Amino acid sequence: MNFLGCVAAFVAMALAYLASRNQRLLPRPLGRPARLGASVFAIAALAAWIAGETSLPGIFSALTALMLGAVALPYITWLFRPATERKPR
């Protein structure tokens, strides 16, 4: 369940990042359906972590996995598209 929680948290943060106006991976943000999908995957990550642990450690583990995805995704994007290679809008 912990692996499933990590995957769901990473997918949630990927969708949240790609729906943001500040994302640099796609030409346009994904929009409202991606934000809804991010919410669904975040709740699934929370449920998976709570099922794998007890309630309070599961909540904190899910929040930690979500924060890791939120911090890591912009850096991963920077590796694939450095700021010097972006075209101005």
Tens digit of each residue's pLDDT, the chain (89 residues): 789 999 999 999 999 999 998 888 888 889 899 999 999 999 999 999 999 888 899 899 889 989 998 898 888 888 877 666 555 55
Q: How far is CA 1 from CA 26, 54, 60, 61, 76, in A?
A: 31, 12, 15, 12, 25
- What local confidence, expressed as pLDDT, does residue 84 receive? 62
Q: What's the predicted TM-score (pTM) here? A: 0.81
Q: Render 19-79 in DSSP notation, one character per residue.
A: HSTT--SSSS---HHHHHHHHHHHHHHHHHHHHHS-HHHHHHHHHHHHHHHHHHHHHHHHH
The angle formed by the CA atoms of residues 83, 85 and 87, to the nearest 5 degrees, is 95
9 touches 62 (CB < 8 A): yes
- What local confidence, expressed as pLDDT, does residue 87 receive? 58
- What local confidence, expressed as pLDDT, does residue 42 receive? 94
Separation between Cα atoms, residue 75 and residue 85, nearest integer Å = 15
